[in-house]
Amino acid sequence: MSDLRIEHPDGDATLKDWQHVHNVIIPTHVLSLDEVRERALRNRLEIAYLDDDPVGCSTVRPPTDESRTATVIARVLAAHRRRGFGEELYARGLNQARELGAKVIETVVLSSNEDGLRFALKHGFVETERYLLRGDTIPWIDLRLS
């Protein structure tokens, strides 16, 4: 994985790369660049590159309540899965969440993303809830690290 480079988006070019990965993996909730900029203000975002091509991204939602619950989400484009990139993004996100004081780690997966769900379950997450957002037809799955 020596060619893998992970960085925080630091301008529109890298925010657009993060947006692209997110929107490919979550086609039911396409984000505009303005929405990505807003997320970058309240969450920790990272983008993974193989050479100069974006292959994955992550989001860490910092803990905000008394339960000290953080959300860690790692996404890898289908063509680049099963090569350890998700492991790297997830490990970095987990470390960031814990550095921010998280005691409980959660994630969320679109139910149609079978690879993402399998990854979460393999890493010790257990399903806590399935739900539809207004206007959606594909359920979201909330999971908690056991």
State the DSSP string of the chain: -TTEEEE---SHHHHHHHHHHHHHH-TTSPPPHHHHHHHHHHSEEEEEEETTEEEEEEEEE---STT-EEEEEEEE-GGG-SSSHHHHHHHHHHHHHHHTT-SEEEEEEETT-HHHHHHHHHTTEEEEEEE--TT-SS-EEEEEE-
* Containing structural domain, residue 137: 4-145
Total number of domains in the chain: 1
Report pLDDT digits (tens) over 109-146.
Answer: 999 999 999 999 999 999 999 999 888 889 999 999 99
Q: What CATH number should be reported for the domain holding residue 86?
A: 3.40.630.30
Share of the chain above pLDDT 70, in %: 99
